């Protein structure tokens, strides 16, 4: 079976940019291995629970959020091709350009779904890679379609890394015996009109009534089971492999609806990845690829899924 280094070398295409991107993917894989090691032992190392503080979203930061964020920052800031970092756990961009006027930007959620940690449910690291000509703050806000790579590392019953460099979506599984990521699924293509429905039913009364009705009709018309893991990275992984629908709509009172999911390092990378696998993603009710971010920590609504299920859903809007 092909290891990740073997796969990356075999797909170099001989151009400089591919080499740089492959080195970034290799570093993210290394960070994922370190985070996986901590996640597996979190209950033994007193890494459960809150770190005592809030992030920019006023979410309570878990100890493992902080730890994972440090691992990602330490490894990625040492990569000569990366000039800027953005993280759910960092209020502002982290300039690691060292005077270079071009390179790549990596936005990441170091540990998505961290409220699952203490109950041993899946969590994951999500990443998005964008090109930059030096205006780091501005270049992070580029549309999803400008991403040159995106993916995640999912810490579940096994640790898997799923990503695309724009030429197909591939899954690598961490072999605990030798510490290598091994190619386990190449060119993932989403099954259509099948799979599970995933959204938090609690939000229905607090969302746009027309969209709530579309959610209800999708459930009634498809009569499919519902799954809600509480970690977007895990729900999207299941949707990639089984087909289906994942959503987190804007919610609020009195028509003042606001998104919950983070555009930069949840919705943009995972939505783009779903589209790379033949699915469809709508962020803030717009097609994903042309949508720029308003700010680094913008929150949006997300509806994504296999192409057939999304066609049916959109017919109800
Ligand atoms: P709720 C995790 O905090 C997250 O941002 C997504 O990964 C997940 O899908 C969602 O929030 C869960 O939200 O309201 O069901 O806890």
200 lines ligand 1 (CB under 6 A): yes
Given a contact cutoff of 8 angstroms between Cβ atoms, the answer to whether 259 and 286 are in contact is: no
236 lines ligand 1 (CB under 6 A): no
Residues with catalytic function = 59, 65, 88-89, 109, 111-112, 266
In a 13 Å sphere around the CA of 105, the CA atoms on its Cβ side amount to: 28
Ligand 1 closest atom vs CA 261? 5
Residue 180 pLDDT more than 80? yes
Choosing from 65, 227, 230 the residue with most ligand 1 atoms within 8 A of its CB, the one to mutate for a pocket test is: 230
Ligand 1 closest atom vs CA 113? 2
* Domain boundaries defined on the chain: 4-185, 196-315
What is the per-residue pLDDT across 79-98, written as a single tens digit (0 to 9) for each?
999 999 999 999 999 999 99
Q: What is the whole-number distance in angstroms between the Cα of residue 124 and the centre of ligand 1?
A: 12
What is the per-residue pLDDT across 183-231, written as a single tens digit (0 to 9) for each?
999 999 999 999 999 999 999 999 999 999 999 999 999 989 999 999 9
Does CATH number 3.30.540.10 belong to domain 4-185? yes
* Model pLDDT, residue 207: 96
261 lines ligand 1 (CB under 6 A): yes
Q: Closest Cα to residue 195, out of 49, 101, 95, 307? A: 307
Residue 255 pLDDT more than 70? yes
Please list, residue by residue across 93-132, b when 16 or more beta carbons sit within 10 angstroms of its beta carbon and e when fewer do.
beebeeeeeebbbbbbbbbbbbebbeeeebbbbbbbbbbb
**For atom 2 of ligand 1, which residue has the closest CA?**
113
pLDDT bracket for residue 12 (50, 70, 90): confident
pLDDT bracket for residue 178 (50, 70, 90): very high
Domains 4-185 and 196-315 share a fold: no
Residue 57 pLDDT more than 90? no
Beta bridge partners of 164: 150, 169
The residue ranges of DSSP E strands in the chain, in sequence order, are: 50-54, 60-62, 82-87, 94-95, 103-112, 123-132, 149-155, 159-164, 169-175, 180-185, 196-198, 244-248, 261-262, 280-283, 286-287, 299-300, 302-305
Does CATH number 3.40.50.800 belong to domain 196-315? no
Ligand 1 closest atom vs CA 112? 7
* Model pLDDT, residue 47: 66
- Global pTM? 0.95
What is the per-residue pLDDT across 101-121, written as a single tens digit (0 to 9) for each?
999 999 999 999 988 988 999
Choosing from 87, 108, 125, 232 the residue with most ligand 1 atoms within 8 A of its CB, the one to mutate for a pocket test is: 232
CA–CA distance, 88 with 84 (Å, rounded to integer): 14
**For atom 12 of ligand 1, which residue has the closest CA?**
230
Residue 283 pLDDT more than 80? yes
CA–CA distance, 119 with 130 (Å, rounded to integer): 34
Q: What is the whole-number distance in angstroms between the Cα of residue 3 and the centre of ligand 1?
A: 32
Q: Closest Cα to residue 289, out of 297, 299, 280, 277? A: 280
Choosing from 201, 235, 261 the residue with most ligand 1 atoms within 8 A of its CB, the one to mutate for a pocket test is: 261
Mean residue pLDDT across the chain: 93
Residue 46 pLDDT more than 90? no
Residue 275 pLDDT more than 90? yes
Count CB neighbours of 308 within 10 A: 18
112 lines ligand 1 (CB under 6 A): yes
Count CB neighbours of 57 within 10 A: 12
């Amino acid at each position: 079976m092909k290891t990740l280094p073997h796969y990356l070398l075999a797909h170099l295409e001989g151009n400089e940019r591919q080499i740089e991107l492959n080195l970034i993917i290799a570093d993210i894989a290394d960070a994922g291995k370190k985070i996986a090691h901590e996640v597996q032992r979190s209950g033994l190392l007193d890494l459960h629970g809150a770190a005592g503080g809030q992030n920019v979203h006023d979410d309570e930061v878990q100890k493992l959020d902080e730890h994972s964020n440090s691992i990602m920052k330490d490894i990625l800031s040492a990569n000569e091709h990366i000039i800027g970092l953005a993280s759910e756990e960092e209020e502002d961009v982290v300039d690691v350009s060292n005077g270079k006027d071009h390179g790549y930007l990596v936005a990441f959620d170091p540990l998505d779904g961290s409220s699952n940690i203490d109950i041993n449910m899946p969590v994951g690291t999500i990443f998005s890679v964008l090109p930059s000509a030096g205006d780091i703050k501005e270049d992070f806000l580029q549309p999803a379609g400008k991403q040159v790579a995106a993916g995640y590392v999912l810490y579940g019953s096994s640790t898997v890394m799923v990503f695309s460099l724009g030429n197909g979506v591939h899954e690598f599984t961490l072999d605990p015996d030798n510490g290598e990521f091994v190619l386990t699924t190449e060119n993932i293509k989403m099954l259509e009109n099948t799979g599970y429905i995933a959204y938090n039913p609690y939000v229905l009364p607090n969302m746009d009534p027309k969209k709530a009705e579309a959610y209800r009709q999708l459930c009634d018309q498809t009569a499919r089971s519902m799954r809600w893991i509480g970690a977007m990275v895990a729900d999207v992984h299941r949707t990639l492999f089984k087909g289906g629908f994942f959503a987190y709509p804007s919610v609020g009172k009195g028509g003042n609806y606001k998104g919950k999911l983070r555009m930069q390092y949840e919705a943009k990378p995972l939505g783009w990845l779903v589209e790379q696998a033949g699915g469809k993603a709508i962020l803030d009710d717009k097609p994903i690829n042309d949508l720029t971010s308003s700010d680094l920590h913008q929150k949006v609504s997300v509806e994504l899924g296999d192409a057939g299920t999304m066609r049916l859903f959109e017919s109800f809007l």
